[in-house]
Amino acid sequence: MKPYAEMTREELASLKEQLIIQYKEYQGKGLSLNMARGKPCIEQLDLSMGMMDSLSSDADMTCEDGTDCRNYGVLDGIREAKELIGDMMENPIDNIIIYGNSSLNVMYDTISRSMTHGVMGNTPWCKLDKVKFLCPVPGYDRHFAITEYFGIEMINVPMTPTGPDMDMVEELVSSDEAIKGIWCVPKYSNPQGISYSDETVRRFARLKPAAKDFRIYWDNAYGVHHLYDHDQDHLIEILAECKRAGNPDLVYKFASTSKISFPGSGIAALATSQNNLEDIKKQLQIQTIGHDKVNQLRHVRFFKDIHGMVEHMRKHADILRPKFETVIQILDEELGGLGIGEWTRPKGGYFISFDSMDGCAKRIVAACKKAGVVMTGAGATYPYGKDPHDSNIRIAPTYPSIEDLRTAMHIFVLCVKLASIDKLLEEA
């Protein structure tokens, strides 16, 4: 098949007729498939069911330091959980706070605290006329929802294959005091699966922000979520790099076990400098007496240590790898060489990113929906839901079975083709 752009109007029209027949066939099947959210599948959830037995009614509920996990106390997490999560995040336990079940909640609270009380003695953001955040795009919709909710102006920064456009980041951060943060998913990014290059991480650590209270919001959601045992992306650890660069307080790093143990019933954590930790704990001790230590202990008893967690993640990979490969194979086979779309080939994480021709994403997603396939909404990967090119679509291959995934992807490529033909016919 030749590139669509090289086809005549007649060729396109004739192709469209054939494709519509296929599309209508799928429509007739009354399918209900969902590739919208990055949800683990049932087989993945089953991997952690052993955790339900790791604390039984006759279990010793005492921490290594003698603390009874069942009672009040321990604001920042039990030591053994800090050690496990510290190894996972590649940070010393002294830099870690263990939270509740949701890293999103930790990020929200971080912004909320900055609004009402400011960052390390600086003016609370609610007292400022304008607060801005940089948003590498495409990115994670729930990040953007937090900053939008707090009335923070979001500035798009294009992603490149090595991370955000660092020329633009450096220029903006060093010149505008209203810019207080940047949202980053540095490893197997959402939605592209891009991991920041060494140079990108180094440039982040060396930023010279105009605002003293500028922080990098480093959401390392997929730090240990590899698809392959050897072919893994590796990131320079940002806290250590910031410390080396003389910018120890520059970063808040977030992570959780949501996609390791159970979404909603895992443990979340923050890693940051001593100064930031002190600042945060002043607030945290007002907010709570402590998070769920029993669940922290449950995780530690189940995984035992970081090697146990890594072995556990290999089982996740064995389930997810064929799903990612199925999606990419169908995209390659069906759309390769047609010049109507581009897609990423992540080595980990939860998403594949697809870019259609400009102005086609919304119709593709709408057409998918009419054929029973729910995709993440077009535009969701951009601040305010506005994709200026209307081209980016996030594909979440983890939840459906491979069979459903195959069907859904065949419908998806069909919708891509149809939308592209319509676009070309309109333009011609």
Q: Catalog residues that contact its own copies under the rule CB under 8 A.
A: 37, 39-40, 42, 45, 48-53, 55-59, 61, 68-73, 100-102, 104-105, 108-109, 112, 115-117, 124, 126-127, 142, 145-146, 149-150, 258, 262-265, 283, 286-295
Q: Is the Cβ of residue 26 or residue 133 nearer to its own copies in the bound state?
A: 133
- Alpha carbons 206 and 213: distance in angstroms, whole number: 15
Sign of CA dihedral 19, 22, 24, 29: negative
Q: How far is the CB of 54 from its own copies (least distance, A)?
A: 9
Partners of 280 in the β-ladder: none
Q: How far is the CB of 144 from its own copies (least distance, A)?
A: 10
Q: How far is the CB of 113 from its own copies (least distance, A)?
A: 8
CA distances to 86, 116, 278 from 285, in Å: 22, 16, 11
Q: Is the Cβ of residue 12 or residue 69 nearer to its own copies in the bound state?
A: 69
Q: How far is the CB of 130 from its own copies (least distance, A)?
A: 15
311 by Cβ neighbours in 10 Å (0-12 / 13-18 / 19+) ranks as exposed
Q: How far is the CB of 361 from its own copies (least distance, A)?
A: 24
Q: Is the Cβ of residue 196 or residue 382 nearer to its own copies in the bound state?
A: 382
CA distances to 91, 328, 352, 411 from 1, in Å: 51, 18, 24, 18
Q: Is the Cβ of residue 37 or residue 389 nearer to its own copies in the bound state?
A: 37
Q: Is the Cβ of residue 133 or residue 204 nearer to its own copies in the bound state?
A: 133
Partners of 218 in the β-ladder: 184, 253
Q: Is the Cβ of residue 27 or residue 112 nearer to its own copies in the bound state?
A: 112
Q: How far is the CB of 108 from its own copies (least distance, A)?
A: 4
Q: Is the Cβ of residue 204 or residue 262 nearer to its own copies in the bound state?
A: 262
Q: Is the Cβ of residue 161 or residue 264 nearer to its own copies in the bound state?
A: 264
Q: How far is the CB of 90 from its own copies (least distance, A)?
A: 25
What is the C-alpha end-to-end distance of the chain, expressed in Å? Answer: 20
Q: How far is the CB of 268 from its own copies (least distance, A)?
A: 10
